[in-house]
Amino acid sequence: MPAGFPDFRLGNVLATSFTGTLSERHGDAIERIPTPQRLVDWLRVNGLAVDSCTPAQLERARELRESIHAAATAAATRAALPAAAVRVINDCSVQGRASAILAPEGNRHWQLSSPTCVADALGVIAADAISIIAGERDGKLALCASPTCRAAFFDTSRSRTRKWCDMNTCGNRQKKARFNASHRKESSS
């Protein structure tokens, strides 16, 4: 995986992994697709290889990412889905013309209509978002308990009680903070 693309767990769902390309949304936000080439890299790593991306396509991708995050956040909190977010997700889904291909190993792969068609890749991501937000998959949308993160993730744990988008990042940070606070409290006593 290219540097700067941590292995987002976020429920191993393409749509929520895509929303993870902007992390620490409620802190010092970190943009992981700052350039068109970084979007090309992210898409390739996630099985949606395109040859290139324009600045306008990058902006459309970010618009889709934020729309998925807004809709997933609303679904996780059982609020009404934002109409503007639903419109962007649906538009991207309809504009994409990717085809699901069954590989000889039994895995599904996506075939884009052309190697330059970012709209196809965004359509796959949008369709994935529709699937999880509509409740078609076994799991539950949730929000990371980290106050600076609040990433939407798809919880497929047996109990559906995961708190963190990723235990190695947000969960570990919170564990360390609790440990340090407890240690400081013991030291001052």
Domains of the chain, by residue range, sit at: 14-187
Closest CA to 149 of 12, 2, 16: 16
Domain 14-187 CATH (choose: 1.10.3300.10, 2.60.320.10, 3.30.70.1290, 3.30.70.580): 1.10.3300.10
Owner of token pair 């075939």:
111
Closest CA to 88 of 39, 122, 114, 112: 122
84-100 pLDDT, tens digit each = 999 999 999 999 999 99
4-63 pLDDT, tens digit each = 444 444 446 899 999 999 988 988 999 999 999 999 999 999 999 999 999 999 999 999
The fraction of the chain above a pLDDT of 90, given in percent, is: 57
Q: What is the DSSP string of 129-178?
A: HHHHHTT-SSSEEEE-S-TTT--EEEE-SSSS----S-IIIIIHHHHHHH
Closest CA to 126 of 14, 1, 34: 14
- pTM score: 0.84
